Amino acid sequence: MSSAAEQEAVAGQEAVAGNRVAGDGRPAVAVNGVRAATPLPATVPVRPGPAVPLGAHFHTGPDGAAGTGFALWAGGAEGVELCLFDERGGESRARLTELTEGVWHGFVPGVLPGTRYGYRVHGRWDPWTGARWNPAKLLLDPYARAVDGDYGTSGLPPQVYGHVRDWPEQHVADTVRDDRDSAPYVPKGVVVHDDDDRADDRRPGTPWADTVLYELHVKGFTQRHPGIPGELRGTYAGLAHPAAIEHLVRLGVTAVELLPVHQFAHEDHLLRRGLRNHWGYNSVGWFAPHAGYAASGTGGQQVGEFKRMVRALHAAGIEVVLDVVYNHTAEANELGPTLSLRGIDNRGHYRLRADARRYADYTGCGNTLDVVQPQVLRLITDSLRYWVTEMGVDGFRFDLAAALARTTDGDDVDMRAPFLSVIAQDPVLRGVKLIAEPWDVGPGGYRVGAFPPLWSEWNDRYRDAVRDFWRPGDADLREIGYRLSGSSDLYDWGGRRPYASVNFVTAHDGFTLRDLVSYERKHNEANGEGNRDGTDDNRSWNCGAEGETEDPDVLALRRRQLRNLLATLLLSTGVPMLVAGDEMGRTQRGNNNAYCQDNETGWVDWELLDRPDWRALFDLTSRLIALRRRHPVLRRRTFYSGHAYSPDGLRDLAWFTARGTEMTEEDWYAPTATLGMYLSGRDIPERDEHGEPVLDDSFLAILHAGDEPTDILLPGPPWARHYEVLVDTGRENQEPPPATTTHPADTTITVAGRTVLLLRAVG
């Protein structure tokens, strides 16, 4: 913005009036070198402005005056007040008198980037019919591009509730309106100046089949990193730092999947226990990067910092995928606070029960957004497009995605639901990576394998099968066979491909990989919920001792199991997802629900890399990823057929017993701890960019989950004449790589107990 335009905008503010109220004493902030003029003018001259786009947009008005257009959908409201705040927290109010198709809008000259604002929305207070308007509550614009402030550190103040939170008769408390002003206690939206600072950004554009996902938490990944300056730890700038990116590049992952970075709020019950919502699945602003992860400031600077982080990751060849929460909000159930959508238009945003006082809860979080309603669908899709086109991200993982596909009455999940249909035809969104968490907590909500083409899914059946195979007991060979080869039983329909399956053994929710082999029971006492939270179905094995131990045999077995799990994951067909820190043995001390552990429990311990045993695990993981990158047969774009395409009878996929014979139907039902998987690189039905057939080496993977060593007869021709050992998880130290070990076909080798062997077929 030019100096002349700045002067004109400041002059415009000197002509402003409204209802001035007591301030909250917050400081002024500057954005892109432009500081909001203070104090705010005495009157707020609202002019007619466009109804689109929604949100607050700084621009030049029709008469050349610089200012900001405001637009808010509040379809059932009787009136909307725009509230502007000066550097001392003083408030000026102005009615938005323009109403177009449910959108209240206007243009205010003189309002600069950096100005903090919110809304007060007028309407009926009638909770029995779902009407919960309360103009005493300052509401956050759901389209705010930046958010400044928080809701308190030791508990939510009672003023942020639309009802009298502490009413003595709690069963009717939500029906008693609280008329105390919430403005001093809530965050404000910040006017942000749109810019084009992504002009030099180059998206990696990694094909799905070549993708290796790495799920990480912005703060948890960077908070303890010794190579990141202290002032940048825990921030977007910290993740953009060369020390953080170096680790990702050395590991070889192609995309980071960031736990929620939309502006979120901490729950009252956590704050009262001295805890915080660490994971961030409690959204309140769907356009704003969470201010708590910004090193540069919270007056709009967080937007530029986030963009710079994306650019830095892209420059290193790493895509950015966001874990997004559009299924519920931080406002919880009818006893929750009034922060934004509830006060804007409760009935227009949430699914309500027949008793409209209550919320339909298909998420386990108190409420469910009503995605069938056009304004909610618009909010979500506008948000998604913004993060792609303006912020530069490459895809999304949708938390509890089944909730977004529920029908009008909410009783069914429909894969032709409006949300999925809109995504499928949107020219921006259909071109990015889309990952569903394909379930919610409502009836019929488990939909693994059911999402339509374009979508990949978190495959929890893969997780469970791999865990079951490597812990003591009789694993289902048919199940593990499907999971290792791309889960064709789930995804081979409608044009879907193996990369529809996002394979994972661990995720943020549950044990870390190290804890999976160290604990058989959850240990969540630090969460303050009596160890009742978190799943009891962990499918874990502690290798002979619960938790930390000094027993060298137990520790050696655990490290071997970690190598087995990582090798299984990275040799499976589909898209592998690692969790930050698993590659170097991160532990949460048995906590399988560390959502509220914003401390060393929830942060990556980088000192592990200084220990030879854990450094060796990192080196193996990096080698496996590099092996996957070099060999297209390990990252196929099409499903295996199991058929022979040549006269010699060589199949593109074959399964072998320890006897060296192909698996029969009877073998698939027989109890065994050993499985051989042959992957033919000669029969890949793909062509390269020059139209030539894709050819690769062929491999025999042997997975032996038994405690004792076993003899394996290596299959002879046409499968191979010799076999070279590339990976042997029975070896404690994987670096430097062992000298090539060659075994003739039709000979017997001994495989150590609990070992993965990967052999290259020769001849």
DSSP of 476-540: -HHHHHHHHTT-HHHH-STT--GGGEEEES--SSS--HHHHTT-SS---GGGTSTT-SS-S----
Residues found in the chain = 763
Q: Rounded to 10 degrees, what is the CA torsion of 625, 631, 633, 635?
A: 40
User: What is the secondary structure of 405-471 as a DSSP string?
Assistant: GB-TTSSSB-TT-HHHHHHHH-TTGGGSEEEE----SSTT---TT-SPTTEEEEEHHHHHHHHHHHS
Q: What is the C-alpha to C-alpha distance for residues 209 and 215, in angstroms, rounded to an integer? A: 17
Report the chain's terminal Cα–Cα distance, integer Å: 68
Distance of alpha carbon 546 from alpha carbon 521, whole angstroms: 8
Q: Is 437 a catalytic residue?
A: yes
Residue 723 is inside which H or E element, if any?
strand 722-728
Find tokens 């394909």 and name the residue.
438
In angstroms, rounded to a whole number, what is the distance separating the alpha carbons of residues 32 and 115? Answer: 13
Decide: helix, strand or coil at residue 667.
helix
State whether residue 724 is helix, strand or coil: strand
Name the CA dihedral angle for 27, 32, 37, 39, rounded to a multiple of 10 degrees: -10
Indicate which residue of 174, 268, 437, 683 is catalytic: 437
Candidates 178, 257, 323, 399; catalytic one: 399
Give the strand pairing for 722-728 and 755-762. antiparallel
Q: Can you tell me the distance from the alpha carbon of 13 to that of 39, in angstroms, rounded to the nearest whole number?
A: 9
Catalytic residue list contains 399: yes
Backbone angles phi, psi at 664, to 5 degrees: -100, 170
CA angle (762 as vertex; 761, 763 as ends), nearest 5:
125
How many whole angstroms separate alpha carbon 183 and alpha carbon 746? 78
Alpha carbons 584 and 286: distance in angstroms, whole number:
33
Beta strands in 134-201 (DSSP E): 146-148, 188-190
Beta 455-459 vs 501-504: how paired, if at all?
Answer: parallel
Q: What is the DSSP string of 15-49?
A: T-B---B----PPP-EETTEEPPSSPPSB---B--
Helix 460-470, helix 477-484: angle, nearest 10: 130
Residues 6 or more apart from 739 whose CB is under 8 A from it? Answer: none
Cα(345)–Cα(162) distance, integer angstroms? 13
Nearest alpha carbon to residue 303 among 313, 293, 312: 293
CA gap 196, 337 in Å, rounded: 37
SS3 per residue for 550-596: CCHHHHHHHHHHHHHHHHHHHHCCCEEEEECCHHHCCCCCCCCCHHH
Give the CA distances from residue 344 to residues 94, 102, 282, 335, in Å, rounded to whole numbers and listed in that order.
Answer: 16, 11, 18, 17
Q: Which residues are the active-site residues? A: 399, 437
